[in-house]
Amino acid sequence: MDPNSSNPVNIVDIKMPFMSMVVFMIKAAIAAIPALIILSVFWAILIGIFGGIFGGAMMAH
C-alpha cells in the first residue's frame, strides 16, 4: 500500500446518547474559557504594542 495515497471518508451518521452529547458540550464550553482568556491577553499585548508604536508616532507630528 502506498503511504501517500488517500482514501476519502464520508461520515453518514453518529450515534451518541443525548446526555453524553450534553456533557461533551459542557466540557467544550468550560475548555473554551481559558482559551478565551489567553487570546484576550495576547490581543491586549498586541494592541498595546501597536498602539504604542503608531499612537506615539501620531503624537510626534
Q: What is the pLDDT of residues 19-60, one digit of tens each?
A: 999 999 999 999 999 999 999 999 999 999 988 888 766 666
Q: Label residue 28 exposed, middle or buried (CB < 10 Å: 0-12, 13-18, 19+).
A: exposed
Residue ranges of domains in the chain: 17-61
> What pLDDT score does 44 carry?
95
> What pLDDT score does 61 carry?
57
